Amino acid sequence: MKNWRFVLHRRWAGYLAVTVLFAVACGLLSNWQFHRREEAVTEINRIVANWDREPVPLEQALPELDSFEEGQKWTPVTLRGRYLEDEQLLARNRPLNGRPGFEVLTPLRLEDGTVFVVDRGWLSVGNEQDLPDDVPEPPAGEVTVVARLKAGEPIIPGRSAGEGQIATVHLPDIADRLGAPTYTGAYGLMASEDPAPATRPVAAPRPAEDEGSHLSYALQWIAFGVLGFIGLGYAIRNEYRIWNADDPQEQERARERERRRAARTPTDADIEDSILDNR
């Protein structure tokens, strides 16, 4: 008679608990990867919808100084004013294509007296590492700028910067430095400026529209969770064969398995014939 009583042993209860916990962990990791893919797809949709759209006036996109919604990211806006070159800042630790560098942040005083922070582009580190070799001057006088909106960055504890530099684009801090009414909901990555200077920092490239391998990883975690139960079932089956070794039906199945195994294993004569055939 078949004997399944061994599965009631607490050892197997422990195996089952471990398998369930492993499956739950795999499920959570899979959901995390699905969520990351959803975020990546949402960002790609923003790039497609906003990057090449027609610019809108800044005051239309951001009616208040602290206005900004994540769905507006990369939206081009037009603004007109004068650069505050003396208030220019360098954002540290900004790599581009694997090269370390800075982003040049130049406040633009608009015609109504408010200030909007423009990221004019990227500069490589110079010979001294802590500064670019040269920072191109912004256009003097009235300038018309097209910039793409981007949210400010949070404060990162423990990061510091030297004179004229910042570690993170935290717009409220920049507003305090300027002592003027400043847009704190978003700043802008410059797309163009008129009049255009002879030289300017490297323009921000269009972000890559790549959702990554998150879907593949999510499906892999699901497969790992299923494999855990398959492994548990295989272990139970082997234990069952041991406990029921004296059962006639199980003995017959064991003999059948041995016959199939023997049929798949080549004999010495088979090996010799194969060698002769190859020759």
Cα(87)–Cα(83) distance, integer angstroms: 9
Residue 147 and residue 68 share a domain: yes
Q: For residue 199, tell me if it sits in a domain.
A: no
Q: What is the pLDDT of residue 15?
A: 79
Residue 188 and residue 60 share a domain: yes
Residue 153 and residue 216 share a domain: no
Cα–Cα distances (Å) from 166 to 114, 186, 203, in that order, read 21, 16, 19
> Under a CB-based contact definition with an 8 Å cutoff, are residues 186 and 150 in contact?
yes
Considering only CA atoms, which of 248, 252, 240 is closest in space to residue 3? Answer: 240
Residue 185 and residue 221 share a domain: no
Cα(173)–Cα(120) distance, integer angstroms: 19
Boundaries of domain holding 6: 1-51+209-263
Q: Does residue 74 come out as left (phi exceeding 0), alpha (psi in the -120 to 50 range) or beta?
A: left
Encoded tokens for 12: 């197997």
Q: What is the pLDDT of residue 255?
A: 63
Residue 42 and residue 18 share a domain: yes
Q: What is the pLDDT of residue 24?
A: 95
- CA angle in degrees (0–180, nearest 5) for 268-272-278: 145
Q: For residue 164, tell me if it sits in a domain.
A: yes
Q: Report the amino acid identity of residue 29.
A: L
- For the chain, list residues with pLDDT below 70: 1-9, 241-279
Q: What is the pLDDT of residue 1?
A: 43
Q: For residue 245, tell me if it sits in a domain.
A: yes
Q: Does residue 83 come out as left (phi exceeding 0), alpha (psi in the -120 to 50 range) or beta?
A: beta
> Under a CB-based contact definition with an 8 Å cutoff, are residues 171 and 96 in contact?
no
